Amino acid sequence: MLLPKDRLTPLLEHLQTPSVRLYVPAQAGGKTTRFALYEPHITTAFHLVNTALPPKDLLFPQTQKMYRYGFDEAGVPYIDPIHDADEVIVFGLRPCDMASIECMDAVFLTKGYVDEFYAPRRERLLAVAIGCTAPAKTCFCDSMGGDANEAPQADIQLNETVDGAAWVVRANTAKGTDALASWSAYLLEEAPGETAPAPAPAPAPAPAPAPASATPAPTPAPAPAPASASATPAPTPASAAPHTPEIKQTACTLRVDMTGVKEKLDALYEHELWERIAKKCVTCGTCTYVCPTCHCFDIGQENRMREGERFRSWDSCMFSNYTLMAGHHNPRADKMPRVRQRFLHKLCFFEDRYGRSLCVGCGRCVEQCPVALDITELIDEIGRITPSASPSAPAPASTPAPASAPAPAPTTSAPSAAPLTPPPAKEA
Amino acid sequence: MPKITIEHDCARATEQLVPLLCRIKDISTETSDVKAFRVQTLEGTRPFDCSPGQTAMLAAIPYGECMFCVSAQGEDYLEFTVKRVGTVTEQLHALSIGDTVGLRGPYGNWFPLEGLKGRDVLFVGGGIGLAPLRSLLTWMFAHRDDFGRIDLVYSGSTRDDLIFLDDIQHVWPELPDVHIHLSIYRESEDWNGEVSYTAPYLEQLAFSPQGRAAVLCGGPSLFRTCLASLLKLGFEPDDIITTLEMKMKCGIGKCGRCNMGSRYICLDGPVFSIAELEDLPGAVH
Amino acid sequence: MVNQIASEQDSIAMDTAVGETPLPETPFEPRIVAFACHWCTYSGADLAGLNRMNYPANVKLLRVPCSGRVNPQYVLTALNKGCDGVLVCGCHPGDCHYATGNYFAKRRLMAFKRLLEFSGLQPERFQVRWISGSEAGKFRDTVIQVCEEIRALGPLEGDSWGVDKGGTGDGSCVPVFDEAKTGTHEPSPCPQPSPPSPLSTPQNALRERARELLQSGEVSLVIGWGATRFENRTTPLFVTQAEEAEQLLFNEYCTNTLAKYAVREKELTSGRIALATRGCESRAVNRMLADRQLQRSDLVLLGLPCSGMRDDATGAVLTKCATCTHRNPVVFDEMLGEPAPEEEVDRFEELRGLEALDIRQRLAWFDAAWMRCIRCYACREVCPVCTCRECFVDQERVGWQGKQANRAENRFYNLTRVFHIGDRCIECGECERACPMGLPLMALNRKFVSDLDTLFASGEAGLSDEADNALGRYDLADTEEFM
C-alpha cells in the first residue's frame, strides 16, 4: 500500500485523537529536535535522519514519577503508585531508533523482572518507522547489525518510493496490521499509473537501481519483514494484485568493522588506551542522554512537608556521583574508569548479558559530543590492537590522523562534503 | 570436595520498585553508630521470605532508600543492621519503634548453603561487615549438624566498632564447635584481647584450607588484605565466598549502577566466589 | 513562627515556612519568605511585635546570621517551593555586625535581582531592604508594601515560576518556540561548509615548536587539536611524543577552547604543559591563574592568532567567535604567527535585543529554553571558570538541585550556574557551543557580565591574572539600587 506524501498531514491529523497521543519528529527550539506531541502548529521534521534527542523518553521519560507517599489526615502512611501510560503512536522512527527500543525492551522486560513502569508504556506504543533515504555522515547502523532500510521490529514500516512521491506502507506486526485498518482512507492500493502486475508475493522490494544520492554501496540483504505487505488484509481487497513500487535503498557511508571487537574488549580492561581516550572527555552526560539505548537511572524524591513523590530520572555513568556510595567510597571517582565503563558497557558487557551490542549506530553521540570523542574511532582503534598484545602494551597508532593536514578522513569522509565555494565571511 | 556453586540471576522480589509499608518492631543499639532494626508488615507479619545473604531496600520515608543485607529473620520480622554513614541511614537512626518505613525486596542471591554443607567454614569480617555474615551464621547454627567446625575472625578499629558483641562474646562461643577470634586495631584499656589487623591475625591463626571454605566481608582494605592472606594460606579462589557492596538504586537489574562486567550485583550478586570475581573486570581491583 | 537557617541543609525550614501558610484562597493571599538578618531586621520585627504593630501574616521570617549569608540559591529554592515573593533584609551599609557582610550582599543581590528580572521574574517579587533593629515601623511598612505589590501581581505559579514545575520529560510539554521572533540567536546561515584550510604558518610553527619542546624535554605534554574522521571537525589532542607533533592541526574548525584540560593534566604529568593559546585560551588561563587552578610556571603558552572558528556542519562562523573581542592571546610565551586583526564587535547586541523585550516575552523565551535543557552539564564541564572540585549540583546531601528535569529545576541549575561563574566569565562561549540543545547560555552570561560592568565597572574578565572579580570585593561607593 502507498501513502502519498501529500496525505501525510491529513493522516497525522486523523491519528491524533483525544485518546491517543501522537509523537512526530519536530523542531523544539534551539538545536533541539525531538519526538514531540503532534499539534497543527508544530514544525515537523520528517526530513531529519535522526532527531537530536532519541525517542527513548516516550518509554522511559527523563523524569518518571513512580509513586506518591505521605501520611493522611489521620496520620496513617500511604504509598500510591502512579501508572500513567497513555496510548501512544510514534510516527517517524528510524530503523536505528527501532533497534534501540529492542535494546530497551531487553533491559526493562527481561532478566527476571518486567519493569512495571516501562511495560505498560511499551505495550501501548504503536511504532511507525520510516526507512532512511540519505543517512547522515555519522550514521553507522549497518555496521552494528542494523539496516537503514528495514525496521523489522516496528509495527508499521514506511519506505520512500524511488520517485519520492510516496511511502510504501507495510505492517510488520499484528498490532501494525490492526492499526493500518484505520489508515485505509489515506492509503492507495497501488501506485498511480502503475499497471504492470507485480510478481504475486512481493515481500520485499527488488534492490533499487543506484539511487541518486547514495554511493553504489553493497546492497544490504533485503531481509523480508515477518509480515509482508501482501499479508496485510486490505480493508477493500483490490481485484488485481497490488503492485508495490520500488523503494529507495540506502546504506551508511560510515563503516566500522565490529569483527572481533567484543572478544578483544574482554581482554582490554587494563589497557592503556582508556586513559588516552578519556583524556579529552569532559565527563558531561551528553553522549548518554542523547543515546537512544542508555537507560541508567537514579531514584530520588521530592518532598513537601509530610508527603512527597519518588521518581526515577535519567542518570549518566559519566557523572562522578553516579557510583558514589554513602561514606564517600567511589569506585569510579576518576574519569578514565567512567569512560571505560561507558564504552565497555556499550560494546562488551551488554553483549555478554543480552546477546547484542548496546550501540545501534545512530551516531547521535558522535554528532553531539562537545569534544568529538567518537565511538567509531574507538572501534577502529580496538580493531588495530592485536589480540595477543599484552594488556599494558602501547597501542600501535594513537589517532587516525595522517601526517598532513587538512586531514581527509582515512576511510569514510562523506563524498559530498567538499564544496568549492569558500564560506562567506560572518557578518558581525 | 565438590565445587561450591553459587546461584546467580536471582529475581525473587515480591516488591519490585514500589515499597511495602512496614513498621519497626524493635530497635537495638549495637554501637554508637550501628543500630539493628526489626521490621514487620503493618499486619505484624514477616514482609517476605529471604535466604541468608539476600538484600532488601529499606526506605526512610521520605528521605530515600538504601540497600541493606538482611542480617537476620524471625517468625514475624526481618532484621537490618544499619551503620550511620549518610543521609538515609541518619534518618533511619532517628526512627523509633512503631515508626513506618518502606521495604522492598528481597533482591539478589544467597550464600551457597548446599555447597558449604559438610565443610568447615571460616568467616572473616570487619566492622559492619559482620551484618551480612550474621544471616549465614545464624542459619548454620540452626542447622549445626550439616557443617563442620565454624570459625569467626572478626575485627574492628576499636571495641566500639564490633557489632553483635553480646552474641559474639556470650552466645556463639557456647555453641558446639564454634570458635570466635576477635581483634581490634588499636590498643585500648577496655580490651584485653588480640590487637592486630585482620590479615596478619588471620595468617597467625594459620587456618588450613583442607575441607574448609572461607566467607569474607569487609571494607575495601580489609577485603584486599584478607583475600591476599587467604590465598597465601592456600585457599582456592573457588572456596572463598564474599558479598559485595555497590551503590544500588533499583535492585532489579535495570538502573545500571551496580553493573560489573556482564553482572548486576543486585541481581546476580551480592554473593560471589573469588574465582567468579576474577572474571569480572574491575571487581577485585 | 520563625525558623533559623543554620546551614544549607535546612531547606526543610523553608519547606515549613512555605508550607505553613495555607494554600492560596480567593482572594489571593501571597506567600512571602523574608530572610532577615539576626542582628537587625529580626530585632526590628521583634520590636514591631512588642509595639503591637500590625503587619500581614503572609510574610514568614527566616533568620539568617547576616544578609551576606543569603545565598541566591535560597531565593530560587523559595520561589521553586511555592513562594510568591522573597524579601531579604539586612543591616544598613556600615552597620554590619561582621563589618562587611552586607556590602558583599548588596553587590551579589543587586546583580542577582537583575538576572532574575532578565529571566522573567517581576522585580517586585524579589526585594532587598536595609532595616535596622530600631526600625520597627520601617519593617512593618516594608512588609505591607511588598505584600501589596505581590498581591497585585497575583500568584507566581501563574507565571510558570513556582510549584507548577512544567514538563513530564516525555516531550509532551515542550512549548513551540519561534526563534525568529527574537532573531538574535541563530548564526547567519551558510549553506555549505568549506574544507578546512590549514592556517599554514601558525600550524607549521605549532608543530615545529611542539616537537622542539617535547624533544628538549622542556614540556612533557602539548595540548592542541587533532583530526577526526570527519573532514571539518577537530578534536582536542594530547601530544607527548615529539614525532606525534605532526598530528597537531590548526585550521578554522578548531572549535574547542582547550585551557581547562591543563588543570587535570597538570595533576598527571610531572613536566610543564605547552598549550595552544588563542585569545579565549589565554583569557581562560589568566582566569584560572587568578583562581589558583594553575600556576603560570606549569605552562608554556604557544600563542596563536585566530580569525574565528566555523561550525563543521554549516560552515558559519561560530557565534562565540563572531562576538570575540580578543582574537589574539592576551598572554603568551611566544607568538606563532602574525597577530590577527582585532575587529570591533558589539558583544552585547543579542543581549540588548532581549532586554528590549517585554518581561513576559522574555519569560516565555527563557521558559522554552529551560524546558529544552537535558541537564547533561556540558556547559559546566567545558567552562574554564567552573573549577569547583564539587559542584553544588553534586552536593546530594545538601540537596540544592533536584534530579528531575523540569522547568523549575532546570531554571534553578541554569541561573545558579550563571551566578557562580558570571563575575569571572571570560565570555569564551564554550558553554553555549557545547550545549547539545542550543540553550541561550551566553545571553545569560552576558547579562550578568554587562550588569556587573554597569554597576561596578568590572570590565572584561581574564585580561590579567589578578583576582579582581566583581563579586569577590566591594566598594563603599557602590551604587545602591535597593532603598
Question: The CATH number of the domain where B75 resides is what?
Answer: 2.40.30.10
B66 and B180 assigned to the same domain: no
Q: Check if A70 contacts C (Cβ < 8 Å).
A: no
Contact criterion met (CB < 8 Å) for C434 and A412? no
What's the gap in Å between the CA of C406 and the closest CA on chain B?
A: 20
Distance CA C59, CA C53 (A): 14
The residue assigned the cell 591476599 is B228
Contact criterion met (CB < 8 Å) for C229 and A377? yes
The pLDDT assigned to B133 comes to 93
Of A306, A312, A326, the CB nearest to B89: A326
How many domains are contained in chain B? 2
Chain C environment of B87 (Cβ under 8 Å) = 396-397
Is B24 domain-assigned?
Answer: yes
Residue B79 structural domain: 20-107
- A:8-27 residues touching chain C, CB 8 A cutoff: 21, 23
Task: Spell out the alpha helix ranges (H) of C129-275.
Answer: 136-153, 200-216, 261-268
pLDDT tens digit string along A53-112?
A: 999 999 999 999 999 998 888 888 899 999 988 899 999 999 999 999 999 999 999 989
Distance CA B41, CA B45 (A): 5
Q: How confident is the model at residue B220 (pLDDT cuts 50, 70, 90)?
A: confident
B119 and B103 assigned to the same domain: no
Is B87 domain-assigned?
Answer: yes
Contact criterion met (CB < 8 Å) for B257 and A317? yes
Q: How confident is the model at residue B1 (pLDDT cuts 50, 70, 90)?
A: confident
pLDDT tens digit string along C105-132?
A: 999 999 999 999 999 999 999 999 999 9
pLDDT tens digit string along A120-141?
A: 999 999 999 999 999 999 999 9
Q: What amino acid is encoded at B250 in this protein?
A: C
**Mutation site, B247, B258, B279, interface A, largest A CB count within 10 A:** B247
Nearest-Cα residue of chain A relative to residue B220 = A329
ipTM of the complex: 0.88
- Residue B2 pLDDT exceeds 90: no
C392 and C326 assigned to the same domain: no
Q: Check if C368 contacts A (Cβ < 8 Å).
A: yes
Q: What is the pTM of this model?
A: 0.86
For residues C73, C74, C76 and C79, what is the CA-based torsion angle, rounded to 10 degrees? 170
Asked whether B31 and B160 are in contact (CB, 8 A), the reply is yes
Is C351 domain-assigned?
Answer: no
- A:49-68 residues touching chain B, CB 8 A cutoff: 66-67
Is B120 domain-assigned?
Answer: yes
Is B177 domain-assigned?
Answer: yes
C142 and C212 assigned to the same domain: no
- Residue A398 pLDDT exceeds 60: no
Is B259 domain-assigned?
Answer: no
Chain B environment of C396 (Cβ under 8 Å) = 87
B42 and B158 assigned to the same domain: no
Chain C environment of A90 (Cβ under 8 Å) = none
Q: Check if C263 contacts A (Cβ < 8 Å).
A: no
Q: Check if B247 contacts C (Cβ < 8 Å).
A: no
Average pLDDT over all residues of chain B: 91
**Mutation site, A42, A279, A339, interface C, largest C CB count within 10 A:** A279
Q: Check if C162 contacts A (Cβ < 8 Å).
A: no
Angle at A404 between CA A399 and CA A409, to 5 degrees: 55
What's the gap in Å between the CA of B246 and the closest CA on chain A?
A: 7
Which CB contacts under 8 angstroms, 24+ apart, belong to A42-51? A42/C176, A43/C176, A44/A12, A46/A8, A46/A92, A46/A130, A49/A94, A49/A132, A49/A134, A49/A135, A49/A136, A49/A139, A50/A94, A50/A96, A50/A97, A50/A136, A50/A139, A50/A362, A50/A363, A50/A364, A50/A367, A51/A25
Of C232, C405, C434, the CB nearest to A417: C232
What's the gap in Å between the CA of A113 and the closest CA on chain B?
A: 7
Is C356 domain-assigned?
Answer: no
The residue assigned the cell 540506502 is A250
Of B63, B86, B249, the CB nearest to A326: B86
Q: Check if A341 contacts B (Cβ < 8 Å).
A: yes
Touching A (3+ Cβ pairs <8 A), the chains are: B, C
End-to-end CA distance of chain B: 29
Is B210 domain-assigned?
Answer: yes
Q: How confident is the model at residue A410 (pLDDT cuts 50, 70, 90)?
A: very low
Contact criterion met (CB < 8 Å) for C438 and A32? yes
B117 and B182 assigned to the same domain: yes
- Residue A293 pLDDT exceeds 90: yes
The residue assigned the cell 592456600 is B234
What's the gap in Å between the CA of B249 and the closest CA on chain C?
A: 14
C319 and C372 assigned to the same domain: no
- Residue A197 pLDDT exceeds 50: no
The pLDDT assigned to A303 comes to 84
C204 and C149 assigned to the same domain: no
Asked whether A90 and A340 are in contact (CB, 8 A), the reply is no
Nearest-Cα residue of chain A relative to residue B219 = A329
Angle between helices A273-280 and A335-344 (to 10 degrees): 110
Contact criterion met (CB < 8 Å) for A345 and B10? no
What's the gap in Å between the CA of C265 and the closest CA on chain B?
A: 24
The pLDDT assigned to C159 comes to 57
Is C82 domain-assigned?
Answer: yes
Reduce the secondary structure of chain B to three states and give it as a string: CCCCCCCCCCCCCCCCCCCEEEEEEEEEEEECCEEEEEEEECCCCCCCCCCCCCEEEEEECCCEEEEEEEEEEECCEEEEEEECCCHHHHHHHCCCCCCEEEEEEEECCCCCHHHHCCCEEEEEEEHHHHHHHHHHHHHHHHCHHHCCCEEEEEEECCHHHCCCHHHHHHHHHHCCCEEEEEEECCCCCCCCCEECCHHHHHHHHCCCCCCEEEEEECCHHHHHHHHHHHHHCCCCHHHEEEECCCCCCCCCCCCCCCEECCEEHHHHCCEEEHHHHHCCCCCCC
C7 and C148 assigned to the same domain: yes
C152 and C27 assigned to the same domain: yes
Provide the grid cell at C297: 610556571
C71 and C123 assigned to the same domain: yes
Q: Check if C464 contacts A (Cβ < 8 Å).
A: no
Is C247 domain-assigned?
Answer: yes
Distance CA B57, CA B266 (A): 11
Nearest-Cα residue of chain A relative to residue C434 = A370
CA C129 to chain centre: 25
Is C345 domain-assigned?
Answer: no
C375 and C330 assigned to the same domain: no
Distance CA C59, CA A11 (A): 55
pLDDT tens digit string along A330-379?
A: 889 899 999 999 999 999 999 999 999 999 999 999 999 999 999 999 99
Provide the grid cell at A205: 522490494
Is C350 domain-assigned?
Answer: no
- A:358-417 residues touching chain B, CB 8 A cutoff: none
The pLDDT assigned to C169 comes to 41
How many domains are contained in chain C? 3
- B:82-101 residues touching chain C, CB 8 A cutoff: 86-87
Distance CA C17, CA C428 (A): 41
Is B180 domain-assigned?
Answer: yes
Contact criterion met (CB < 8 Å) for A283 and C381? yes
**Mutation site, B85, B87, B249, interface C, largest C CB count within 10 A:** B87
Nearest-Cα residue of chain A relative to residue C203 = A405
**Mutation site, B57, B91, B161, B259, interface A, largest A CB count within 10 A:** B259
The pLDDT assigned to C230 comes to 92
Of A280, A417, A426, the CB nearest to C322: A426
Angle between helices A375-384 and A273-280 (to 10 degrees): 160
Distance CA C101, CA C69 (A): 8
Contact criterion met (CB < 8 Å) for C229 and A413? yes
Q: Between chain A and chain B, how many beta carbons pairs sit less than 8 Å apart?
A: 109
Residue % of chain A over a pLDDT of 70: 77
Residue C413 structural domain: 179-186+368-472
B122 and B211 assigned to the same domain: yes
Nearest-Cα residue of chain C relative to residue B86 = C397
The pLDDT assigned to A30 comes to 77
pLDDT tens digit string along A234-291?
A: 444 444 455 668 888 999 999 999 999 999 999 999 999 999 999 999 999 999 999 9
Contact criterion met (CB < 8 Å) for B255 and A296? yes
Chain C environment of A23 (Cβ under 8 Å) = 171
Distance CA A94, CA A103 (A): 14
Strand partners, A158: A130, A169
Of B62, B220, B250, the CB nearest to A301: B62
- Cis peptide bond prior to A406, omega within 30° of 0: yes
Q: Which helix (H) or strand (E) holds C313?
A: none
Chain A environment of C258 (Cβ under 8 Å) = none
Is B14 domain-assigned?
Answer: no
C60 and C145 assigned to the same domain: yes
Contact criterion met (CB < 8 Å) for A423 and C315? yes
B58 and B122 assigned to the same domain: no
Q: How confident is the model at residue B187 (pLDDT cuts 50, 70, 90)?
A: confident
Contact criterion met (CB < 8 Å) for B254 and A269? no
**Domain stops at, among B83, B107, B131:** B107
B58 and B167 assigned to the same domain: no
**Segment B22-28 mean pLDDT:** 94
Chain A environment of B64 (Cβ under 8 Å) = 300-301
For chain C, give me the number of helices (H) and strands (E)?
15, 10
Chain C environment of A42 (Cβ under 8 Å) = 176
What's the gap in Å between the CA of B89 and the closest CA on chain A?
A: 9
Is C343 domain-assigned?
Answer: no
Distance CA A92, CA A128 (A): 6
Average pLDDT over all residues of chain A: 81
Q: Domain containing B133 — which CATH number?
A: 3.40.50.80
Chain A environment of C168 (Cβ under 8 Å) = 61, 63
Touching C (3+ Cβ pairs <8 A), the chains are: A, B
Nearest-Cα residue of chain C relative to residue B87 = C397
